[in-house]
Amino acid sequence: MKISKRPFGPFLDVPCDDIKPAGFKCRECRHPVEKLAKVLPNLVPRMFFYSCKCGMVTTWEDEAQPQGSRVWRLNTNLLKRSGAKVLIFNGARKLSAGFSGIN
Ligand SMILES: [Zn+2]
């Protein structure tokens, strides 16, 4: 049986079944924001990845999650200002704008 996969943010070959709608739309690119929960080996809590055409936002499971278009817009603004494609929240402290692990 072949599992259908597609790219998601910086990841290639993510099983389509793992990608869920986040339940709101991006006000910038007008695309629905999608969400991927990923368990990394030996890492708790899980990481949540949110993505639209503007970029990707990553949070830990135990942190505040982007829950609507209004909050999402703050993220896309930050993505644009910093020129980054991936935004990672780390213990509620934003990494410095110059940080570019994956972008
Ligand atoms: Zn967008």
**Cα 2 to averaged position of ligand 1 atoms, centre (Å):** 30
Which parts of the chain have pLDDT scores under 50?
Answer: 100, 102-103
CA of 90 to the centre of ligand 1 (A): 21
| pTM, 2 dp | 0.80
DSSP state of 42: T
Expressed in angstroms and rounded, the spacing between residue 89 Cα and the centre of ligand 1 is: 18
Contact yes or no for 58/75 (Cβ under 8 A): no
Q: Tell me what the pLDDT averaged over the chain comes to.
A: 84
Dihedral of CA atoms 21, 9, 5, 61 in degrees, nearest 10, equals -50
Buried b (16+ CB within 10 A) or exposed e, 11-39: beebeeeebeebebbbebeeeebbbbeee
Q: How far is the CA of 4 from the centre of ligand 1 (A)?
A: 24
Q: What is the pLDDT of residues 23-51, one digit of tens each?
A: 999 999 999 999 998 877 777 788 899 99
